[in-house]
Amino acid sequence: MAKDRNRFVCQACGAVAPKWQGKCDACGEWNTLQEELAPAARGPGPAAKAIGGRQIEFVGLEGSSPPPPRIPTGLPELDRVLGGGLVPASAVLVGGDPGIGKSTILLQAAARIAQGGPHAGRRALYISGEEAVAQVRLRALRLGLEKAPLELAAASALRDIVASLEQEADAALVVIDSIQTMWLDALDSAPGTVAQVRTCAAELIRLAKSRGFALVLVGHVTKEGTLAGPRVLEHMVDATLYFEGDRGHQFRILRATKNRFGATDEIGVFEMTERGLVEVPNPSALFLAERRGNVSGSAVFAGIEGTRPVLVEIQALLAPSTGGSPRRQVVGWDSGRLSMLMAVLEARCGLTLGQNDVYLNIAGGLRINEPAADLAVAAALVSAATDRPTDPGTVYFGEVGLSGEIRQVAQAESRLREAQKLGFAAAVLPRRIARGGRAPAALDGLRLTEIGHMADLVAPFAAKAGKKEPTRERETAKAG
């Protein structure tokens, strides 16, 4: 058996090094290694494995298991992100910046579950390691939830929490706010370190599985945007939800980045009001609410978030650079993708953007990962560059390739239907490939402009601007 020796654990990625060093070899972060006592070897060693243990049984893929039962949280947008509600005996991690609304939404959900519904008679427990009971009560009062039979405790000693939860037979939900404040006295390291967070989470998850309650862990996010310390937590839990949006905005977007019981990348949209987080059933209307028509540099993107189409305004601003290398400032989109699009616009469409500072913003605090946004971003850029507004009644979607070709994207029909629902009159989209049928009947009234190359996007702006039409580069790419 190896001698117990101290080891050094990276607080960012959880990698273990035998001695202290300034930089973590695994993730490249500086000053993240902290000393921890190596855990005593436990469990059967390789020799014991040969003798002990039962035979496991293998089964075929066929056979029916019922879908997991669900506990509705009373917040349909939260249920949507979870894939239909909380699953008993599962663990969910809710991450996000401080002050974004994690405690608020979980208090709301826990109170609603405690208030009954189909799971009446089951209890909801809320354990806060960050706030005193009085503070949580005050928040409940503000939210009008003070009458809910939620059971509240301020605790952070894992030993006490486990001892109490071991007694629970009828808890439906246990909220731990937050996992970084929990600590186990058997470990030498401080609360919030990887060792503590990992051990406490593992212990709580084990309890959730054995006692059958749904466990929700709140996790803080570091300024780099990862859950503090624990990448290690993400693979231990069944679902990870992140709160996006900034505190300056009233919109909050809850996104599932991992979900063993539902789709990922599903979003829920909320608005922070004085009565807590309120659902936004029609996010497109909200994201477009502050749009001002007839301003250059703005285009509406018809996107898909999870299973839901969402329209969002993309804003671009070009300003003459004041020397040095021009700035590229992007909020809510990938800056590498922006550079690529600008290169395509310059090389394939003859647009000159190079000497300008470029600012790109996805309005409303949404973060977009779809390549389908390329065409809308390009439209906003071209509109900014030519100082001509895009048609306010038009939506854009399509992926752009390096030769300037516009590529097909998934779910064109739902995007178009959403645009139609919100009163848009036209759409610019990739050219349908031959096998595609006609536009669906439901889309009557929506004028479709199918384009195959970026030059087709640029031409109308250039014509309007009265500038010389950019010459279309010879299409070099083979289709597909």
Nearest in space to 287 (alpha carbons), one of 305, 265, 266, 307: 305
Is the Cβ–Cβ distance between 139 and 146 less than 8 Å?
no
Does residue 88 touch ligand TYD according to CB under 6 A?
no
- Report the alpha-carbon distance of residue 361 to residue 394 in Å, rounded: 19
Q: Could you tell me the CA-to-CA distances from 59 to 55, 56, 62, 64, 259 in Å, in that order? A: 13, 10, 8, 12, 24
Encoded amino acid at 73, one letter: T
Question: Cβ–Cβ contacts within 10 Å for residue 232, how many?
Answer: 17
* From 64-72, 273-281, 313-321, 444-452, span contacting ligand TYD (CB under 6 A): 273-281
Q: Could you tell me the CA-to-CA distances from 369 to 305, 335, 372, 456 in Å, in that order? A: 9, 11, 9, 24
Least Å distance between CB 398 and ligand TYD? 36
Helix (H) / strand (E) containing 128: strand 123-128
Q: Which of 96, 229, 389, 430 binds ligand TYD (CB under 6 A)?
A: 96
Does residue 108 touch Mg ion according to CB under 5 A?
no
Nearest in space to 272 (alpha carbons), one of 298, 255, 254, 256: 254
Q: Which of 26, 37, 38, 143 binds ligand TYD (CB under 6 A)?
A: 143
Least Å distance between CB 93 and ligand TYD? 13
Least Å distance between CB 139 and ligand TYD? 5
Does residue 389 touch ligand TYD according to CB under 6 A?
no
Q: Which of 62, 274, 290, 444 binds ligand TYD (CB under 6 A)?
A: 274
* From 25-33, 222-230, 234-242, 272-280, span contacting ligand TYD (CB under 6 A): 272-280
Does residue 132 touch ligand TYD according to CB under 6 A?
no
Name the binder of 88 from ligand TYD, Mg ion, none, CB < 5-8 A by kind.
none
Q: Which of 90, 103, 181, 383 binds ligand TYD (CB under 6 A)?
A: 103
Q: Sheet of 267-273: strands edge to edge?
A: 151-154, 123-128, 171-177, 214-220, 91-96, 239-244, 251-259, 267-273, 276-279
Q: Which of 11, 73, 90, 103 binds Mg ion (CB under 5 A)?
A: 103
Name the binder of 139 from ligand TYD, Mg ion, none, CB < 5-8 A by kind.
ligand TYD
- Report the alpha-carbon distance of residue 91 to residue 336 in Å, rounded: 35
Structure tokens, 268: 């829920």
Nearer to ligand TYD, 104 or 356 (CB): 104
Binders in 298-357 for ligand TYD, by CB under 6 A: none
Nearer to Mg ion, 32 or 103 (CB): 103
Name the binder of 104 from ligand TYD, Mg ion, none, CB < 5-8 A by kind.
ligand TYD
Residues in contact with ligand TYD by the rule CB under 6 A: 96, 98-104, 139, 142-143, 272, 274-276
Footprint on this chain of Mg ion (rule: CB under 5 A): 103
